């Protein structure tokens, strides 16, 4: 029984559900209470103690169905009906002896098992043999053949083959048919296990690669996946830095203030004053270049912007190619995909005119900018040889707490051709190259760290 | 302990809980009752997540009523700290007492010649001002002190700071809390603890690990009809069928805020007040603001009201 749970937990971990040891113990306690008999109840209750978010619940449900697929339940019942209080080693012992029985009497057992066509019994035998063969350690699809062979050996396929050789022609035909069926059964089992224990290897790898790939090189088909990744990043950053802007010292008596306030009561202290600190709520004005020159990266910069507006309060978002447009409302009303394609469609693909855009920006937001505002500009700083509008940016810079510029081009390309990064950079607190999700995470994390 | 009876017994216990909650007016599916059952069996807190208005808070209230224990509620918000959640000294009272006892203090000090002697005398009375007399218990301490056990509801735990979340861990793990001035306070009876979250931020793994996690989704139409029936019994069954169908359709649309169960109930009450017999377009338009809370949403679905109303009326 314990063995079953341990393997199930391992399967859950393989499908990217983080199950801690404490939680597996909870699961064991739960099973003690409700037993293995009622499949629906078991699924419901294990899901309560093992899957701790709504996405996890979905994955749990899939994994559970794959692991405890309907016929296997009978097998667990058979296993489970040994004394449940028996400890782990005894449990394993039981399984091994069952298998040993199968092996010793193999000539008759396996042959009779396949000839009886008792499918449930056969599946239990396969499952036990698989457990002994250590199929839970399977990692690669190339290992399928090896594990199949091992399981078949443990089941005693040789004895069955001997039987086939010794029997007369009618039986032989029938037995070889059954042998093929048996092999198919084992193959199915191994396939299921492979699926179970390696379910998540591929997305993990993909995630890792996508984090490092330059933003401009990400393919459109990965967009959906990237969206999740960026959202995860934004949420993580906010959670990480949330604690920086909280009230620090509430619940402490401010003695000095209390004494002063109570002077009028002749020093009798009726009115108590508590120490408190103001919550710092930074405002962010984010501007994103969506012109033709950065069109590939723009999708993801916008995506990031979208995630930021979702998780941080008080973000005003703008997009521009030659004219600036506020997209805060668009972001709030539409889903990420719609909002981004809408913004790109409406404002994108033009040729950049930083001078015009920045003067527009100044006119729109300057009144709103104060010492708490962070201005975040994402663009390549290529102004098609027109005036980059440094003076406008400088006026914004004077008002704002900080102006940050993230450039999707590598540093070596700056100041070449029509890039005006040097001049624009002079009116910023910080200029950085931001090429991949990893860069984005690092930069924004730094920004937020120094924000308070 | 036989396996078969185990499952059957727990199944029966879960059905009993489901029935018990129903008598308090809380209609729920099996998964919710299972969560309450497991929570009691393992003595673990339940973390409830789900969209707003599906009855997360109500579950705690109904359980308290069903278990016949007092409900102690702690509403979380940004900046909530242990002084508001656990205990606080009654500073005002302490100060007032020192003032009132000033003369008395003078008497006590009489005869002490040196400063050291006065100090020593003062030390003898140190703890007079830090005992339970001057302790203001807040919800968490009240829960631990409750004689008959209690149901503790920590509402919207995601709104609180991370520090507070960490502070809760000791309570959730062992049902005890360490207070520097007094020592460790242990619960007299293990309380039943519910935490609710709207998932405005990701809760820490440590907190999640200590809880049973229950996700309450929007109910399906059959369950929602039962809920409306129990909450608004005076509504006719044909109309009930129609409004639930209408709301279920609404939930499939892209809205800023989809109507929750509480809004369905409000709508049902509104229709009862208006003596409505059957849904029709005008009626829906007039009362839609009980269901949708954003003018934008109301504007967006205006063109579809006709079709949706007809579908709701025709559906059988």
Query: A22 CB near a chain B CB, below 8 Å?
Result: yes
Contact call for residues B175 and B77 (beta carbons, < 8 A): no
Contact call for residues A378 and A434 (beta carbons, < 8 A): yes
What is the pLDDT at residue B129? 74
Do A270 and B92 make contact, defined as CB atoms within 8 angstroms? yes
Residue A105: pLDDT over 70:
no
Tokens at A380, concatenated: 């390549």
Residue A86: pLDDT over 60:
no
Contact call for residues A304 and A230 (beta carbons, < 8 A): yes
Query: A255 CB near a chain B CB, below 8 Å?
Result: no
Select the highest-mean-pLDDT range: A56-60, A353-357, A366-370, B45-49.
B45-49
Q: List, in sequence order, the alpha helices (H) in A15-156.
A: 21-34, 39-50, 54-67, 72-80, 88-104, 106-116, 119-133, 144-155
Tokens at A405, concatenated: 């510029």
What is the pLDDT at residue A221? 65
**Cα of B81 to nearest chain A Cα, Å:** 7
Within a 10 A sphere around the Cβ of B230, how many other Cβ atoms? 15
Residue of higher predicted confidence among A177 and B207: B207
Do B99 and A37 make contact, defined as CB atoms within 8 angstroms? no
- Report the C-alpha gap between A383 and A225 in whole angstroms: 32
pLDDT tens per residue, range B221-258: 899 999 999 889 998 888 999 999 999 998 888 787 88
CA B220 vs CA A56, A69, B136, B225, B280: distances in Å:
21, 26, 45, 9, 23
Burial class (CB in 10 A: 0-12, 13-18, 19+), A16: middle
Select the highest-mean-pLDDT range: A259-273, B102-116, B289-303.
B289-303
Do B38 and A239 make contact, defined as CB atoms within 8 angstroms? no
Ranges A63-72, A423-432, B9-18: which has the least confidence: A63-72
Do B11 and A41 make contact, defined as CB atoms within 8 angstroms? yes
Residue B1: pLDDT over 90:
no
Strand partners, B185: B177
pLDDT tens per residue, range A421-435: 888 888 888 888 887
Which residue of A39, A49, A248, A250 to mutate against B (max B Cβ within 10 Å)?
A49
What is the pLDDT at residue B66? 92
What is the pLDDT at residue B17? 92
pLDDT tens per residue, range B64-93: 999 999 999 999 987 788 788 888 888 888
**Cα of B140 to nearest chain A Cα, Å:** 16
Residue B144: pLDDT over 50:
yes
CB contacts, 8 Å: B41 with chain A: 29-30, 33
Provide long-range contacts, Cβ within 8 A and 24+ apart, for A213-222.
A213/A436, A214/A297, A214/A435, A214/A436, A215/A296, A215/A297, A215/A300, A215/A301, A215/A408, A215/A434, A215/A435, A215/A436, A215/A437, A215/A440, A216/A294, A216/A296, A216/A297, A216/A408, A216/A435, A217/A296, A218/A296, A218/A300
Q: Which residue in A has a C-alpha nearest to residue B51's C-alpha?
A: A54
Do A272 and B161 make contact, defined as CB atoms within 8 angstroms? no
Q: Which residue in A has a C-alpha nearest to residue B159's C-alpha?
A: A242
**Cα of B98 to nearest chain A Cα, Å:** 9
What is the pLDDT at residue A85? 38
Do A44 and B8 make contact, defined as CB atoms within 8 angstroms? no
Residue A241: pLDDT over 80:
no
Query: A251 CB near a chain B CB, below 8 Å?
Result: yes
Contact call for residues A270 and A262 (beta carbons, < 8 A): yes
Strand partners, B194: B46, B153
Within a 10 A sphere around the Cβ of A109, how many other Cβ atoms? 18
Phi, psi of B301 (to 5 degrees): -95, 0
In the predicted model, what is the mean pLDDT of chain B? 86
Going by pLDDT thresholds of 50, 70 and 90, the confidence category of residue A240 is low
- Report the C-alpha gap between A209 and A217 in whole angstroms: 12
Select the highest-mean-pLDDT range: A75-89, A94-108, B50-64, B73-87.
B50-64
Torsion-angle region of B275 (φ positive above 0: left; ψ -120 to 50: alpha; else: beta): left
**Cα of B219 to nearest chain A Cα, Å:** 15
The domains of chain A are located at 3-197, 283-450
CB contacts, 8 Å: B91 with chain A: 253, 272
Do B30 and A44 make contact, defined as CB atoms within 8 angstroms? yes
Query: A387 CB near a chain B CB, below 8 Å?
Result: no
If you average pLDDT over residues A291-306, what whole number do you get? 78
Residue with tokens 């996946």: A225
CB contacts, 8 Å: A35 with chain B: 3-4, 6-7, 10
Closest by CA to A302, choosing from A313, A291, A214, is: A291
- Report the C-alpha gap between B10 and B4 in whole angstroms: 10
DSSP string computed for B78-97: TT--HHHHTEEE-HHHHHHH
Task: Given the cut 0.85, state whether the ipTM is greater than it.
Answer: no
Counted across chains A and B, CB pairs separated by less than 8 A come out at 130
Which residue of A33, A58, A262 to mutate against B (max B Cβ within 10 Å)?
A33
Closest by CA to B294, choosing from B242, B258, B265, B240, is: B258
Closest by CA to A40, choosing from B67, B201, B53, B15, is: B15
CB contacts, 8 Å: B30 with chain A: 40, 44
Bridge-based pairing of strands B46-49 and A324-326 is: unpaired
What is the pLDDT at residue B32? 92
Select the highest-mean-pLDDT range: A319-323, B71-75, B279-283, B311-315.
B71-75
Q: Up-side HSE of residue A188: CA atoms within 13 Å toward CB?
A: 13
What topology is assigned to A283-450 in CATH? Rossmann fold (3.40.50)
Give the containing element (helix H, strand E) for A12. helix A2-14
Query: A270 CB near a chain B CB, below 8 Å?
Result: yes
Q: Kindly report the pTM of this predicted structure.
A: 0.65
Residue A31: pLDDT over 50:
yes
Residue with tokens 């009240």: B142
Q: What is the 3-state secondary structure (H, E, C) of B169-223?
A: HHHHHHCEEEECCCEEEECCCCCEEEEEECCCCCCCHHHHHHCEEEECCCCCHHH
Going by pLDDT thresholds of 50, 70 and 90, the confidence category of residue B46 is very high
């Amino acid at each position: 029984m314990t063995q079953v749970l341990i393997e199930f937990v391992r399967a859950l971990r393989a499908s990217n559900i983080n199950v801690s040891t404490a939680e597996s113990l909870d699961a064991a306690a739960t099973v003690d209470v409700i037993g293995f008999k009622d499949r629906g109840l078991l699924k419901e209750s294990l899901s309560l103690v093992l899957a701790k978010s709504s996405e996890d619940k979905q994955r749990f449900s899939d994994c559970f169905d794959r692991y405890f697929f309907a016929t296997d339940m009978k097998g667990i019942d058979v296993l489970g009906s040994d004394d449940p209080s028996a400890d782990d080693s005894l449990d394993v012992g039981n399984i091994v002896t069952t298998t040993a029985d199968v092996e010793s009497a193999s000539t008759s057992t396996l042959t009779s098992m396949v000839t009886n066509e008792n499918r449930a019994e056969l599946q239990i035998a396969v499952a036990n043999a698989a457990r002994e063969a250590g199929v839970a350690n399977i990692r690669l699809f190339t290992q399928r053949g090896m594990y199949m062979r091992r399981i078949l050996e443990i089941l005693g396929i040789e004895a069955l083959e001997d039987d086939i050789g010794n029997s007369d022609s009618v039986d032989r035909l029938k037995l070889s048919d059954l042998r093929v069926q048996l092999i198919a059964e084992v193959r199915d089992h191994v396939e299921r296990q492979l699926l179970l224990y390696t379910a998540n290897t591929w997305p993990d790898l993909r995630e890792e690669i996508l984090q490092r790939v330059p933003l401009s090189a990400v393919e459109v088909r990965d967009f959906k996946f990237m969206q999740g990744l960026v959202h995860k990043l934004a949420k993580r950053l906010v959670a990480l830095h949330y604690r920086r802007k909280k009230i620090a010292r509430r619940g402490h008596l401010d003695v000095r203030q209390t004494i002063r306030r109570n002077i009028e009561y002749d020093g009798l202290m009726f009115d108590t004053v508590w120490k408190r600190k103001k919550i710092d709520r930074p405002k962010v004005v984010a501007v994103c270049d969506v012109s033709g020159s950065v069109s590939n990266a723009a999708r993801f910069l916008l995506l990031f912007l979208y995630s930021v507006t979702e998780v941080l309060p008080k973000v005003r978002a703008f997009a521009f190619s030659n004219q600036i447009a506020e997209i805060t409302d668009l972001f709030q009303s539409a889903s990420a995909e719609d909002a981004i394609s809408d913004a790109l469609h409406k404002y994108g693909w033009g040729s950049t005119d930083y001078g015009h855009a920045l003067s527009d920006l100044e006119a729109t937001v300057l009144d709103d900018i104060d010492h708490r505002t962070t201005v975040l500009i994402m663009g390549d700083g290529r102004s098609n040889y027109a005036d980059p509008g440094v003076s406008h940016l400088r006026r914004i810079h004077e008002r704002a707490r900080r102006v940050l510029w993230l450039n999707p081009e590598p540093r070596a390309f700056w100041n070449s051709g029509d890039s005006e990064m040097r001049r624009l950079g002079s009116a910023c607190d910080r200029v950085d190259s931001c090429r991949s999700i990893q860069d984005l995470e690092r930069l924004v994390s730094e920004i937020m760290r120094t924000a308070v | 302990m036989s396996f078969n009876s185990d499952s059957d017994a727990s199944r029966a216990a879960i059905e009993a809980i489901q029935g018990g909650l129903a008598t308090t007016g809380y209609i729920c599916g099996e998964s919710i009752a299972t969560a309450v059952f497991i929570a009691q069996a393992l003595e673990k807190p339940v973390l409830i997540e789900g969209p707003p208005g599906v009855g997360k808070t109500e579950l705690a209230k109904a359980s308290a009523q069903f278990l016949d224990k007092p409900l102690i509620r702690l509403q979380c918000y940004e900046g909530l700290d242990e002084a508001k959640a656990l205990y606080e000294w009654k500073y005002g009272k302490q100060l007032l007492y020192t003032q009132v006892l000033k003369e008395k203090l003078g008497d006590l000090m009489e005869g002490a010649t040196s400063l050291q002697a006065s100090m020593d005398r003062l030390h003898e009375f140190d703890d007079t001002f830090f005992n339970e007399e001057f302790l203001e218990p807040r919800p968490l301490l009240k829960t631990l002190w409750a004689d008959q056990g209690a149901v503790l509801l920590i509402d919207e735990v995601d709104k609180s700071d991370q520090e507070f979340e960490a502070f809760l861990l000791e309570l959730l793990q062992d049902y005890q809390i360490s207070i520097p001035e007094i020592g460790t306070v242990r619960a007299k009876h293990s309380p039943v603890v519910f935490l609710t979250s709207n998932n405005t931020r990701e809760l820490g793994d440590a907190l999640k690990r200590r809880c049973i996690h229950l996700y309450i989704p929007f109910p399906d139409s059959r369950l929602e009809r039962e809920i409306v029936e129990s909450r608004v019994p005076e509504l006719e069954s044909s109309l009930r069928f129609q409004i639930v169908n209408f709301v279920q359709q609404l939930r499939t649309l892209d809205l800023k805020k989809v109507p929750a169960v509480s809004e369905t109930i409000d709508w049902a009450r509104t229709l009862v007040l208006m003596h409505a017999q059957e849904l029709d377009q005008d009626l829906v338009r007039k009362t839609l603001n009980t269901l949708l809370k954003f003018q934008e949403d109301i504007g967006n679905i205006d063109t579809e009201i006709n079709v949706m109303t007809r579908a709701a009326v025709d559906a059988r």
